[in-house]
Structure 1
Amino acid sequence: MSTFISAIYSAAAGGAGIVTGEPRAALRTSWADIHELALRGAAALVADGVKPGEAVAILAADPLEVAPAVQAVWLAGGSVTMLHQPTARTDLGKYAAGTLQVLKVIKASRVIVGEQFSDVAQMLDGTGVRGLLAADIASHPERLASPVEVDEDATALLQLTSGSTAAPKAVRISHRNAWDNLTALARRAQVDPATDVFVSWLPLFHDMGMVGFLTLPMVMGLELVKVTPIDFLRSPLLWFELISKYGGTHTAAPNFAYALAARVLANAENLDLSSLRFAFNGAEPIDVDTVDRFLAAGAHLGLPSTAMVPAYGMAETTLGVSIHVVGQPVRVDIIDAHELEQNRRAVPAQPGLAPDGTETTRSFPTLGPPLDGLEVQARDDDGNILGEREVGTLFIRGVAVTDTYLTGDGALPTQGSDGWLDSGDLGYLTDSLVVVCGRVKDVIIMGGRNIYPTDIERVAAGVDGVRAGNAIAVRWTAPSGRESFAVAVESRLAEDPEQVERMAREIRTAVTTAIGVRPAQVRVLPVGSIPKTPSGKLRRAAGVALID
């Protein structure tokens, strides 16, 4: 059996497990019990005709349904695809049509469905796709005697990339890719199975949740406390109540969640966060101010000043590319804004303001050295390898890097002939540390300047009334043909004309003062207006439609 599958058996022999049901009715289930359910589920899948290498999709949110289901697919020799989940506002007809597109791309004829999504399974009837209830396969009367044999290059995951419900694309992760990245992550995170406790609310259809906070604990035999994103959104403080209650050592979230956390932690009482040494911050641009506010807000609760761990990752490497060194304060790189925007060079500088009041520097957190087994280069537009502090497109190479995308047009290679993957991210290296500035396709070019939308969004989000993580800056062309940019934000005050006018005015002023360019348009919109991927990333290209 592959090393990855062997690790699942080893983890099941230990004493660790998963806690679910918080905050209403906590239930702890050992990985051994999960494994028993998975063996029965695997037997059910084999009896149903699943063949080695076959793709099986899973649509479920309850971790106690997901964990045995994904393990059952792997034990049956198949690959797992976690489907994006419909929300209360989702048009189920459109969702079913989009899901069928995804299933066609990954060539899956079976979907394991959690109880809450049984109506979706019914909608798939007559489409040639079989819906199998997670509870039914887990209660199969027989158990699989031994795992179906697959080698290291067999597919373990077909991970949907961001936005793939609109144009389906999946990353093929082999057993070899997965095991290499998981072990590298565990080493960098200084994981100790004997003492560590992982705490997470992340969605399981996103790679950070699925790989980092389900698969890794399940194959390494780590204690895991798992709630759902809905639980977190209902009460952001629950995240830290669980860390305090269970002595959580490792957690993870995108930057916007730490902004919310800073607000609720400031006035929280009777929590002990001293055990938390690894708060992984990734999946979206990391704001230095948010990091500072989070650490300051939790200090009175014992949160270590070194707990925040900025990271860079992508589905194409299973999960991680580079991670800040655990136990060290976040390192912020302050660079000259003019050199970055005009010459694509990251020249160290002292913070300050120009005579016109604009910021003369930009601040980026360093994201640690590449994980073991991975290399990172920055290249210019002609493919030339750049030197220290020269900004270009980041390229990645290593065992963890996938070799294949699955698309509507068939399989496509992810790597060039030299074995390097084009990440699509702009960044640079300094002292072997990775720094990411933004996405190549999102950069706004005005007057010869390369302006990063994240800088504009950070300033806009600082205006009172704007929801954290819900500001978007996009390229915009005026009717005259002049190139500029527009800003859209979400606010719970969007129905109040006076507040809308006030926020729009303050956003224009703040952005013009800080960045030195004035937005052509500013829109203040109701909650839920800004387009995002199912995993919560801003869809800037789609955001153009928000502007008149």
Structure 2
Amino acid sequence: MSRFVETMLATARNGGQRTGVTTGEPKNPMRRTWAEVHETARELAGSLVAGGLARHDAVAVLAAEPAEIGPAVQAVWLAGGSVTMLHQPTPRTDLGHWAQDTLRTLAMIDSKLVLLGAPFDQLAPVLEENGIRYRQMKDLAGAEPLAEPVEVDEEAPALLQLTSGSTADPKAVVISHGNLYANVTAMAQTAELDTENDIMVSWLPMFHDMGMVGFFTVPMAFGIELVKVTPVDFLSGPLLWADLISRHRGTITAAPNFAYALLGRRLAGVDDDNAYDLSTLRLALNGAEPIDEKAVKAFTDAGARFGMPAECVFPAYGMAEGTLAISFAPLFTGLNLDYVQAEPLEEHRIAEPADGPGPGVRSFALLGPPLPGFDVRIVDEDGNPRGERETGEIQIRGESVTKKYLTVDGPLSTQDADGWLSTGDIGYLTGGQVVICGRAKDVIILAGRNIYPTDIEQAAAEVEGVRAGNAVAVRLDAGSKRERFAVVVESKLAGDEAAEKTLRKQVAARVFESVNARPSAVAVLPPGTLPKTPSGKVRRAAAGAQLAEHLRAPE
């Protein structure tokens, strides 16, 4: 039996009667202990095995409610299978296109079954029309519980994590039982998780790795109290997040930049200083690299009025290829920035320290040392290791690092002969801590200078009228002598010709002032139109396509 399943079983049998998971907040809260979740999972696993599910079979899950997803996922692991959380259709999704994309994904992972749950159980006819085998989660209950888990080894796949991006060209990270055990154990150790006192609060989606691994699998495996709602619950009323932390005495939470900025704005508008008590919060994880210091400051400034310590901000670096987390900042030290001179960084790829913020200075979050079991190094274009404060591509290796992807063209190895995986992230090491500058594919090269899109985006976002967190720099004619960049911003001024013209000029001027380079175009779009990943990051490639369409549109 894998170490991960052994840990999950030990928790359910020994400490699982005391701690559990609360779902359905705020209208219909329901709490079940981890022991109760396990008993339900045993029933579901019995039904799956009786229905023909075999060891190592891939099972896809399409559901939104954590109360359904949690036991179903554990059931698949007890039955010896692997789990894939499918991309979910939205109200605006063309179901015909979604079905075809889903078919490609299911073929890629060689799925034997789709488990359907609310609110997507109504999609059963679409699956039937396309010959996709499925079972309703609600129909699995009541079976004879699985007596003992189906044994699998450490190399068996546990989670096939779909990467963000186009579902029409899917790719899945194959996370083994060994990977999963190594990473959840390293996170628990480094974050000093306390099964007696910690209470985790999350609205992150279960189809995202942070929502699935960080804020369901970890508490389920180790027996930590969890309060879990859906992204729709949060977006319908962002202050629910603060309310849950306050009422449940939450100690650990996580979110991307945009959510912290949003909550900060909503908290700032609350009149009653006693409306919430956020003093119990010790870890507010932010793993969206690069971390937006302004979003963090808005969050901590607003939270201070409700007793929240600024030191709870918990910067991290992670990716699905490392299972989830790669590095954590030191506990209870808050957000610490590394200030570097822009010119040597852009022209010589050296992060030369600066005394503090000012003209010609860039700042990056210190993301802490690698977790136990990880090796991290920086290499140049030829794969040669770089030194302290020298930038290059980040490579990782260790027990948590996946060995392969699944693609529509077949399996693809992720590692070189020495076990190193190239992350595609550009960064450097200083004092043993990881620093991320940006994605290699997004770096804009102008006259030999490496300009990071986040510097452009932060400058654009400073212009009044640009929605916070909704500016994106798009690389044009990449790799050619004519390489350029454009800026796309969201604004409520979109559609007002005169106001748009002024805003474009202001954005172009602020960007030039910041990076000494002028965008070839600035596009102003209505709020809510920039394409984003499930974690809230703007998808630059999709934004580039959107920009091209915008520029082709008749005036």
Does the TM-score normalized on the shorter chain lie above 0.5?
Answer: yes
1:310-368 deviation per Cα after TM superposition (whole angstroms, max 9, x unaligned): 11000011100001011123221000000110000000013465xxxxx3110001100
1:122-148 deviation per Cα after TM superposition (whole angstroms, max 9, x unaligned): 2111434211111111x1331111111
> What is the root-mean-square deviation in Å for CA atoms of aligned residues?
1.6
Deviates more, 1:54-63 or 1:451-460: 451-460
Deviates more, 1:282-291 or 1:251-260: 282-291
Change beyond 3 A, Cα 1:289–1:215: same
Q: Give the one of 316, 323, 332 matched to 2:321.
A: 316
1:140-174 deviation per Cα after TM superposition (whole angstroms, max 9, x unaligned): 33111111111121111011112151311111111
In 1, Cα distance between equivalents of 2:113 and 2:288 = 29
Q: Is 1:415 matched up with 2:415?
A: yes
In 1, Cα distance between equivalents of 2:397 and 2:369 = 14
Query: Who is 1:370 aligned against?
Result: 370
Deviation at 1:11, TM superposition (A): 2.2
Q: Which runs of 5+ in 2 are unaligned?
A: none
2:336–2:366: 8 Å Cα contact kept in structure 1? yes
Secondary structure at the counterpart of residue 469 of structure 2: strand
Deviation at 1:494, TM superposition (A): 1.9
In 2, Cα distance between equivalents of 1:69 and 1:31 = 13
Change beyond 3 A, Cα 1:205–1:408: same
Secondary structure at the counterpart of residue 41 of structure 1: helix
1:56–1:112: 8 Å Cα contact kept in structure 2? yes
Matched letter for residue 72 of structure 1: A
Query: Who is 2:335 aligned against?
Result: 330
Matched letter for residue 482 of structure 1: R
Query: Who is 1:23 aligned against?
Result: 26
In 2, Cα distance between equivalents of 1:308 and 1:532 = 23
In 1, Cα distance between equivalents of 2:374 and 2:496 = 51
In 2, Cα distance between equivalents of 1:498 and 1:63 = 47
In 1, Cα distance between equivalents of 2:178 and 2:288 = 23
In 1, Cα distance between equivalents of 2:9 and 2:420 = 34
- Pairing 1:50-449 to 2, within 5 Å after superposition: 50-137=53-140, 139-268=141-270, 269=273, 270-351=275-356, 359-449=359-449
TM-score after normalising by structure 2: 0.95
In 2, Cα distance between equivalents of 1:350 and 1:540 = 32
1:189-236 deviation per Cα after TM superposition (whole angstroms, max 9, x unaligned): 111011100000101101011100011111111111111111111111
Secondary structure at the counterpart of residue 468 of structure 1: coil
Q: Which runs of 5+ in 1 are unaligned?
A: 354-358
Query: Who is 1:522 aligned against?
Result: 522
2:492–2:526: 8 Å Cα contact kept in structure 1? yes
1:385-406 deviation per Cα after TM superposition (whole angstroms, max 9, x unaligned): 1110000000001011010111
Query: Who is 1:356 aligned against?
Result: none
2:290–2:365: 8 Å Cα contact kept in structure 1? no
In 2, Cα distance between equivalents of 1:341 and 1:443 = 10
In 1, Cα distance between equivalents of 2:84 and 2:121 = 18
Matched letter for residue 127 of structure 1: N
In 1, Cα distance between equivalents of 2:155 and 2:477 = 47
1:276–1:307: 8 Å Cα contact kept in structure 2? yes
In 2, Cα distance between equivalents of 1:463 and 1:258 = 20
Count of aligned positions: 541
Matched letter for residue 290 of structure 1: A
Change beyond 3 A, Cα 1:33–1:84: same
Deviation at 1:26, TM superposition (A): 1.5
In 2, Cα distance between equivalents of 1:534 and 1:255 = 12
In 2, Cα distance between equivalents of 1:99 and 1:284 = 29
Deviates more, 1:319-328 or 1:519-528: 519-528
Matched letter for residue 382 of structure 1: D
Change beyond 3 A, Cα 1:520–1:194: same
